[in-house]
Amino acid sequence: MSKELVFGHQSPDTDAIVAAKAYSYLQNQLGYDTEAVALGEPNAETAFVLNYFDEPTPRIIKTAKDEVDSVMLVDHNEFQQSVSDIKDLTITHVVDHHRISNFRTDQPLYYRAEPVGCCSTILTEMFDENKIDIPVQLAGLMLSAIISDTLLLKSPTTTDKDRIAVKTLAEIADIDYEKYGIEMLKAGTNVAAKSDQELIDSDAKSFTMGGKNVRIDQINVVDFEDIDKRQDDIKNAMATEAQDKNYDLFLVLVTNVLNSDSRLIVVGDPVEAVEKAFNNKLSQDATMSLPGVVSRKKQVVPPLNEALS
Ligand code: MN
Ligand code: MN
């Protein structure tokens, strides 16, 4: 069997990097020859996690066709979020917890999708199904991914399966997950250390909605004030990027991870669709407060998609 690469989405978050490592480990135990790689640098939170559990950062790739014919996707399936030459590769496996909107392949494949809070939750189940033990360090990483994706089990994307997986993994890793989780989330919110460009890039995803190119970024903070003083600069960076990359609409969701609220910064058109999606008016400074909203996947993408379609 020839070697395959395993990776999560571009602008990787903790789950994208950890799920690739976990799935690669599992598949290698089951006889495949795989390597976990990443489609971008780890963000501050992921760097904290890798350092905490003393695990190496995966190699970063831009293209895959030059080294393999086949790949396995985790934590994403939309081609515009994947490796740049995904259309020239054979996808043999997908493990994901996102919508399926434009996925197609020429060959049959293994595809595991579950509407749970984190890809690493599905992988926790798959280790169990295959009777493979999760190594201690890997359990710590997978626990971190679930805490990250579900904001310590508080996001509305959280399911009972995520809660069970957190308990299982915390036991294996021997971690007080609530205490560790707050420390980890805080480590990921250091916005002062990031440039405006890094802020609008580091957790951004592209979507096609009703024929529009929509870019949605999420910035975690522990205090909205961290963003307030830079809001005009951030908006300028968004406008420039939207023009360069042909985004019709660029949204930045600023999420307070401690009290589970968000604020939306909006650049582009149609603004009316954004207002309709959230049943709220944009204020003078092109922002909108979204109390209780923390999940891009569950609370932003679906209403926006409906409003634009
Ligand atoms: Mn992700
Ligand atoms: Mn995920």
Give per-residue pLDDT as tens, 253-268: 999 988 889 999 999 9
Secondary structure of residue 309 in the 3-state scheme = coil
pLDDT of 1 > 80? The answer is no
* Paired tokens of 270: 């149609």
Task: Please state which CATH class domain 191-308 belongs to.
Answer: alpha beta
Residue 2 Cα to ligand 1 middle (Å): 27
| β-pair type (204-209, 212-221) | antiparallel
Whether domain 4-186 has CATH 3.40.50.1820: the reply is no
> Which numbered ligand comes closest to the C-alpha of 13?
1
Kindly tell me if the per-residue pLDDT of 38 is higher than 90. yes
Q: Which residue has the higher pLDDT, 4 or 154?
A: 4
Ligand nearest to the CA of 117: 2
* Model pTM above 0.85: yes
The string over 239-255, giving b where at least 16 C-beta atoms fall within 10 Å of a residue's C-beta and e elsewhere, is eebbeeeebbbbbbbbb
d(CA 254, CA 217): 8
Token pair of 247 as six digits:
């985004």
**What pLDDT is stored for residue 299 in this prediction?**
96
The rounded Å distance from CA 13 to ligand 1 centre is 5
Q: Where are the domains of the chain?
A: 4-186, 191-308
* CA separation, residue 99 to residues 38, 84, 298, 300 (Å): 21, 20, 10, 13
Reply yes or no on whether the pLDDT at 141 is more than 80: yes
Residue 284 Cα to ligand 1 midpoint, Å, equals 32
